[in-house]
């Protein structure tokens, strides 16, 4: 579509130039002929391309004039049009690349195109035409929803030219993302991060529940990963090795991908062989020394009370114990720190803070608002809003603001401690 528009603009520009040239020639000939008929020589002689012999009387050969324009002037204008068309094409390509690299929104890009068009730049009205956005996205019905596979090697190859080493280390994230509050529609993307570059989407699933069966959902991704792991990626004469170092998921997603029991079961620990006990409705793991789990025994499905089946990650050669990163956000920030603050504010009387102490802590936290460095995503809030705290706020309290605001409010009994 863009090529047709540029060709149409070029032809229109050539036609406008032809019409302007013809109008100026006709005006010149009319003025000179009128002066010759009146016998006046006051009108200066202007050489025209239609004069057959210079210096003779004012006779014109219109056929020669048209032929001369067609052979020479038109060729020059066509060459100029081609050069100008190349500039327009280059400008569009640069604008398209700039919008893609800086992740400019469609609304902002449409506004920019409107301003550039008012300044005379022949650009499309809508940014989707500039970006060549496809009208349709082909998907397939799979795993109880719609599935689209984008490719692992394609995403890695975009970053190979900026890499210093021939070893490609990947971190994979798989999790469900709800789209609406009024329905169960959700996305299950397979996100891959290559080194320190931005993550890319390797596959995408959309449905009203998690993809099932799991083997079909991971088949394309694991098949390509096994091929790249065995053969590598050849880029500009160099071979790059590909390995998955980390599988980053929350506890429910890890249990689903590894085919293990949930985090509330008796043998749910992913690091060691331990059996928990239920205390006041909570699962507690009290033993201090336990046998650690290994990748080899997990691959042989020897943990009968821990595993619920054979995970497809095993066949792909992905270590399901050492490569699975424990969820720091849910375990520490939204787990231990949140539970500790709940006990301090609403827990049993033996550990619950007084109203005066809670007000003093909240006052100090609110006093830090506007004084935190820009590296912190959120400013501190009082304890009365703790139910709406995000994970970053609990982390901030644990590492930075907590020791400051609790120092003079809570007194630690150190009797018998050296």
What is the per-residue DSSP string for 9-63? HHHHHHHHHHHHHHHHHHHHHHHHHHHHHHT---SPP---TT-SSTTS-S---HH
* pLDDT score of 101 more than 80: yes
Query: Does 223 have pLDDT greater than 80?
Result: yes
CA dist., res. 101 & res. 96, Å (int) = 9
Asked whether 189 and 204 are in contact (CB, 8 A), the reply is yes
Contact assessment for residue 205 and residue 188, using Cβ atoms and an 8 Å cutoff: yes
pLDDT confidence bin for 20, thresholds 50/70/90: low
Query: DSSP readout, 208-225?
Result: SS--SSHHHHHHHHHHHH
Quickly list DSSP for 171-205. Answer: EEEE--EE--SSS--EEEEEEEEETTSPPEEEEEE
Check residue 31 and give its pLDDT. Answer: 53
Q: Give me the residues paired with residue 243 across strands.
A: 169
- Indicate the SS3 state at residue 406: coil
What does the buried/exposed string (b/e) look like for 211-229 if buried means 16 or more CB atoms within 10 Å of the residue's CB? beebeebbbbbbebbeebe
Cα 118-124-125 angle, rounded to 5 deg: 70
Specify the pTM.
0.66
**CA dist., res. 190 & res. 172, Å (int):** 7
pLDDT tens, position by position, 40-67? 444 444 444 444 444 444 343 434 343 4
| pLDDT cut 90: percent of the chain above it | 55
- CA–CA dist 50, 384 (Å, integer): 92
- Would you state the torsion angle of the CA atoms of residues 158, 160, 161, 165, taken in this order, to the nearest 10 degrees? 160
Distance CA 253, CA 262 (A): 10
Lowest mean pLDDT among 2-6, 77-81, 267-271, 323-327: 77-81
**Mean per-residue pLDDT, 235-248:** 92
Contacts of 75 (CB under 8 A, 6+ apart): none
- For the chain, what is the mean pLDDT? 82
pLDDT at position 409, please?
87
Confidence of residue 418 (pLDDT cuts 50, 70, 90): very low
Token pair of 210 as six digits:
């998690």
Residue 23's pLDDT is what?
52
Per residue in 273-331, pLDDT (tens digit) is 999 999 888 888 888 789 999 999 999 999 999 999 999 999 999 999 999 999 888 88
Average pLDDT on 133-143 reads 86
Average pLDDT estimate for 23-39: 51
Q: What is residue 228's three-state secondary structure?
A: helix
- H or E segment and range at residue 258: helix 251-258
Q: Is the pLDDT of residue 8 over 60?
A: yes
| pLDDT value of residue 150 | 94
- Whole-angstrom distance, CA of residue 345 vs CA of residue 336: 14
Residue 154 is encoded by which pair of tokens? Answer: 């394609």
* Residue 67: per-residue pLDDT: 40
Q: Determine what percent of the chain is predicted with pLDDT higher than 70.
A: 78
Rounded distance between C-alpha atoms, residue 152 and residue 155, angstroms = 5
pLDDT digits (tens, 9 = 90+) for 317-373: 999 999 999 988 888 999 899 999 999 999 988 889 999 999 999 999 999 999 999
């Amino acid at each position: 579509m863009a090529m047709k528009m540029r060709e149409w603009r070029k032809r229109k520009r050539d036609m406008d130039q032809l019409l302007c040239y013809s109008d100026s020639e006709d005006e010149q000939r009319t003025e000179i002929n009128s002066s010759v008929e009146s016998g006046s020589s006051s009108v200066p002689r202007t050489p025209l391309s239609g004069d057959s012999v210079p210096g003779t009387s004012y006779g014109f050969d219109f056929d020669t004039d048209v032929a001369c324009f067609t052979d020479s002037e038109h060729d020059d204008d066509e060459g100029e049009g081609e050069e100008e068309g190349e500039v327009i094409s280059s400008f569009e390509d640069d604008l398209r690349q700039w919008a893609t690299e800086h992740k400019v929104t469609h609304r902002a890009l449409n506004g920019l195109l409107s301003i550039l068009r008012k300044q005379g730049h022949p650009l499309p009205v809508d940014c989707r035409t500039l970006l060549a956005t496809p009208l349709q996205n082909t998907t397939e019905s799979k795993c109880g929803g719609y599935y689209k596979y984008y490719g692992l090697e394609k995403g890695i190859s975009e970053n190979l030219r900026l890499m210093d080493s021939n070893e490609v280390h990947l971190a994979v994230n798989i999790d469900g993302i709800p789209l609406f509050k009024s329905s169960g529609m959700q996305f299950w993307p397979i996100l891959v991060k290559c080194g320190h570059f931005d993550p890319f989407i390797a596959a995408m699933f959309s449905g009203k529940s998690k993809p099932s069966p799991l083997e079909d959902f991971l088949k394309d991704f694991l098949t390509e990963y096994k091929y790249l792991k065995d053969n590598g990626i050849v880029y500009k004469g160099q071979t790059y090795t590909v390995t998955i170092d980390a599988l980053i998921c929350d506890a429910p997603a890890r249990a689903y991908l590894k085919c293990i029991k949930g985090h509330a079961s008796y043998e749910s620990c992913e690091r060691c062989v331990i059996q928990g006990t239920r205390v006041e409705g909570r699962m507690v793991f009290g033993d201090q020394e336990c046998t650690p789990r290994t990748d080899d025994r997990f691959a042989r499905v020897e943990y009968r009370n821990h595993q619920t089946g054979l995970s497809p990650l095993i066949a792909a050669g992905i270590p399901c114990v050492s490569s699975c990163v424990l969820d720091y956000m849910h375990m520490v920030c939204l787990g231990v720190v949140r539970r500790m603050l709940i006990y301090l504010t609403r827990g049993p009387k033996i550990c619950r803070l007084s109203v005066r102490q809670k007000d003093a802590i909240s006052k100090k936290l609110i006093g830090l608002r506007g004084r935190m460095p820009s590296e912190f995503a959120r400013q501190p809030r009082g304890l009365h809003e703790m139910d709406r705290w995000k994970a970053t706020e609990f982390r901030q309290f644990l590492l930075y603001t907590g020791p400051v605001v609790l120092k003079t409010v809570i007194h630690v009994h150190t009797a018998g401690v050296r």
